[in-house]
């Protein structure tokens, strides 16, 4: 069905009324504009004024005599009909009255002048009223019209073939597509079309792409708009645009309305000081009315996307408004491989490129990150005039997305290079010897982005649960850089500022939220780390006592101190390997996992096993094995973001 994109028509009667009214106004103005200023007098009175010497100025035309005379000390304009009087000029000269003669403007000139005024008015009226309505409402006089873009169903090329990595979300959307294609099958069973579908998930997971694919599969009209386009500086504009959007969708039904970043207008009401933003709340109220108000919008589905479903107003997310809430999660390893295949179709790849290997090396990446990896790899290959994208290009692209481009031009002194190498070696050795740490992929002292060096750890598989032992090992690994600096140089630098910040955040979460403290037990309390709404959380009662807050701080401090001491102990036990790794880093700048295994005397297949027999020192695990009573203390782990896969970003600056 082709959408009917009608242009609003102006009634003919209204056009005629405006033109006639303007002509009448022009005629009345030309006739009576100077009525109160110019005084008509008889010719005899004019002659008397000449004799009395009151005339100040006279203008003689073929039809009229005009001028100015004195009247009680004031100047008064006058006019009189001209009469054939041969003595008039002599009398004026005798009275020493200045005068001049002018020709009357022809009637043709007057007609053309009046027509010109009419045409000028018609042009101005067309420019201000008609033209904006033919220009998609992009005018100050049409700010109340919706800015949503209508896509022709016949020109929609995005389908589910272009969406990968979210099979569950696509399956949930199949009902919507079937309903839009054949609503009769559902209506005969009494099923109703869902009014709203809320897509939520991390940024870059493909929520907008999924909405476009639904419209492409269903072959219906698709209105797309950003929530920020509804609210303007004028009061009532947002609500008017919502009404206009639903009215246009109703004309093109069946249709899908997609509002991106729904939280811009759908935030919880009365969340701020003073009752919140009234204009935004008016827009939200109008949206609620359109969804579940006096009039049912038949054949229209509202789809919204947000990264923050927790901040939306409960009235918006209840059944009857947004009936379905569909999570678009970060893709797992299989989903990442499918996404890479979709984007790799548009790029010439070398035969040796294995997308499954790339998917394994990019945990935590979302669809936007993976698309950026393929694009960056293609740019790198084109920069070097390669015939196709190789594994080296993709590996470099992954690191660019994680930590930024290399900065080999940065001049670093030999002393600072050794400190950076020691810092990263501390992370690397502890991560390699820990029982629960992610495998080390490589360590580098080449500056990349804001980092002066980094240790890259890549998990072997996607994880959704994290044990207490794994978090404890992570704390020790994060503090390994600072411990190495203190032991080798008897001095500390600002390079560990990011490590300390992350380690403290992990420790506080363990104690205050995950119930992983033996002293405090399984409790979860609100802390200042949580995001708050100004106003609502100001008035919220504090749910933690001073004694409990002090105990949390003491437990966090104890966790950090114990982890730091473990890191120092491991480094002291492996000083020889530490120096070897530092020298290798200073020589090659980048050391991969195979070389690290050789330095530590570990076989690649025995990375997490005990020492080799010929090694004198015993390789001790960083953290104690998890106790039986704490095995159930696990927490769903959020997928790490790409930058968090790097063991350390040696910032080189104080926090």
Give the CATH number for residue 48.
Answer: 3.30.720.210
Position 180 in a domain: yes
Position 590 in a domain: yes
Helices (H), 331-390: 333-344, 355-360, 367-383
Provide the pLDDT for residue 527: 57
Position 383 in a domain: yes
| Residues 344 and 312 occupy one common structural domain | no
| Residues 308 and 341 occupy one common structural domain | no
Which H or E run includes 473?
helix 468-489
Q: Report how many domains make up the chain.
A: 4
| Residues 349 and 393 occupy one common structural domain | yes
DSSP 585-651: HHHHSEEEHHHHHHHHT--GGGTTS---TT-SS----SSPPPPGGGTT--EEPPPPPGGGGEEEE--
| Residues 307 and 353 occupy one common structural domain | no
Give the CATH number for residue 389.
Answer: 1.10.8.60
Query: What are 424-482's pLDDT values in tens digits?
Result: 999 999 999 988 888 888 899 988 877 888 888 888 777 888 899 999 999 999 999 99
**Catalytic entry in 424, 485, 555, 577:** 424
Catalytic annotation on 416?
A: no
Provide the pLDDT for residue 179: 82
Provide the pLDDT for residue 271: 54
Provide the pLDDT for residue 487: 93
Provide the pLDDT for residue 606: 43
| Residues 315 and 388 occupy one common structural domain | no
Which residue ranges of the chain lie beneath pLDDT 70?
1-18, 20-21, 25-36, 104-107, 109-110, 125-148, 153, 232-236, 270-278, 293-298, 526-542, 602-655
Provide the pLDDT for residue 8: 46
| Residues 245 and 342 occupy one common structural domain | no
Give the CATH number for residue 423.
Answer: 1.20.58.760
| Residues 589 and 498 occupy one common structural domain | yes
Position 18 in a domain: no
| Residues 192 and 264 occupy one common structural domain | yes
Position 26 in a domain: no
Provide the pLDDT for residue 421: 93
Cα separation, 577 vs 546, whole angstroms:
46
Give pTM, 2 decimals: 0.66
Domain that holds residue 645: 414-649
Task: From 354, 375, 403, give the residue that closes a domain.
Answer: 403
| Residues 485 and 579 occupy one common structural domain | yes
Q: Which of 512, 501, 495, 537 is nearest to 644 (CA)?
A: 501
**Pairing verdict, β 99-101 and 635-636:** unpaired
């Amino acid at each position: 069905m082709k959408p009917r994109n009608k242009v609003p028509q102006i009634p003919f009667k209204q056009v005629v009324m405006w033109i006639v009214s303007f002509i009448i106004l022009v005629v009345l103005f030309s006739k009576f504009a100077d009525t109160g200023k110019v005084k008509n007098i008889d010719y005899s009175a004019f002659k008397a004024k000449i004799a009395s010497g009151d005339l100040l100025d006279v203008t003689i035309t073929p039809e009229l005599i005009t001028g100015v005379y004195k009247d009680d000390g004031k100047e008064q304009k006058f006019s009189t009909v001209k009469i054939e009087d041969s003595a008039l000029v002599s009398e004026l000269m005798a009275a020493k009255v200045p005068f001049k003669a002018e020709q009357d403007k022809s009637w043709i000139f007057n007609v053309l002048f009046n027509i010109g005024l009419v045409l000028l008015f018609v042009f101005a009226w067309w420019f201000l009223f008609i033209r904006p309505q033919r220009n998609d409402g992009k005018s100050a006089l049409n700010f109340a019209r919706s800015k949503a873009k209508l896509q022709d169903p016949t020109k929609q090329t995005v389908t589910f073939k272009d969406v990968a990595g979210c099979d569950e979300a696509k399956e949930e959307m199949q009902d919507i597509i079937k309903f839009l294609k054949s609503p009769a099958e559902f209506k005969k069973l009494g099923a109703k079309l869902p009014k709203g579908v809320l897509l939520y998930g991390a940024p870059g997971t493909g929520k907008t792409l999924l909405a476009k694919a639904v419209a492409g599969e269903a072959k219906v009209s698709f209105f797309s708009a950003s929530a920020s386009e509804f609210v303007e500086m004028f009061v009532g504009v947002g609500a008017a645009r919502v009404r206009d959007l639903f009215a246009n969708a109703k004309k093109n039904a069946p249709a899908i309305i997609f509002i991106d970043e729904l939280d811009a207008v759908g935030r919880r009401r009365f969340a701020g000081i003073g009752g919140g933003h009234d204009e935004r709340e008016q827009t939200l109220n109008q949206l609620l009315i359109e969804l579940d108000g006096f009039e049912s919008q038949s054949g229209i589905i509202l789809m919204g996307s947000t990264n923050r479903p927790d901040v939306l107003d409960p009235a918006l997310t209840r059944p009857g408004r947004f009936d379905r809430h569909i999570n678009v999660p970060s893709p797992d390893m299989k989903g990442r491989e499918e996404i890479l295949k979709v984007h790799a179709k548009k790029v010439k790849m070398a035969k040796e490129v294995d997308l499954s290997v790339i998917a394994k090396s990019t945990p935590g990446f979302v669809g936007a990150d993976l698309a950026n990896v393929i694009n960056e790899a293609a740019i790198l290959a084109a920069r070097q005039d390669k015939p196709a994208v190789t594994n080296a290009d993709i590996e470099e692209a992954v690191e660019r997305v994680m930590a930024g481009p290399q900065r080999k031009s940065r001049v670093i002194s030999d002393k600072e290079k050794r400190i950076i190498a020691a810092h990263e070696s501390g992370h690397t050795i502890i991560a390699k010897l820990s029982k629960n740490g992610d495998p080390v992929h490589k360590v580098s002292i080449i500056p990349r982005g804001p980092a002066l060096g980094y240790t890259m750890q890549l998990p072997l598989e996607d994880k959704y649960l994290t044990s207490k032992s794994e978090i404890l090992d992570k704390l020790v690994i994060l503090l390994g850089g600072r411990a190495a600096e203190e032991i080798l140089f008897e001095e500390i630098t600002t390079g560990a500022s990011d490590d300390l910040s992350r380690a403290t955040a992990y420790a506080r979460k363990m104690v205050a939220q995950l119930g992983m403290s033996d002293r405090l037990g399984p409790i979860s309390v609100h802390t200042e780390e949580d995001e708050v709404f100004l106003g609502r959380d100001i008035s919220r009662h504090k749910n933690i006592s001073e004694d409990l807050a002090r105990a949390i701080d003491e437990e966090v401090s104890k966790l950090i101190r114990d982890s730091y001491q473990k890191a120092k102990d491991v480094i002291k036990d492996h000083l020889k390997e530490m120096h070897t790794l530092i020298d290798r880093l200073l020589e090659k700048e980048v050391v991969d996992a195979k070389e690290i295994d050789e330095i530590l005397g570990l076989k690649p297949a025995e990375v997490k096993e005990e020492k080799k027999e010929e090694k004198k020192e015993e390789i001790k695990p960083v953290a104690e094995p998890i106790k039986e009573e704490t095995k159930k203390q696990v927490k769903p782990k959020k997928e790490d973001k790409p930058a968090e896969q790097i063991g350390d970003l040696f910032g080189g600056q104080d926090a």
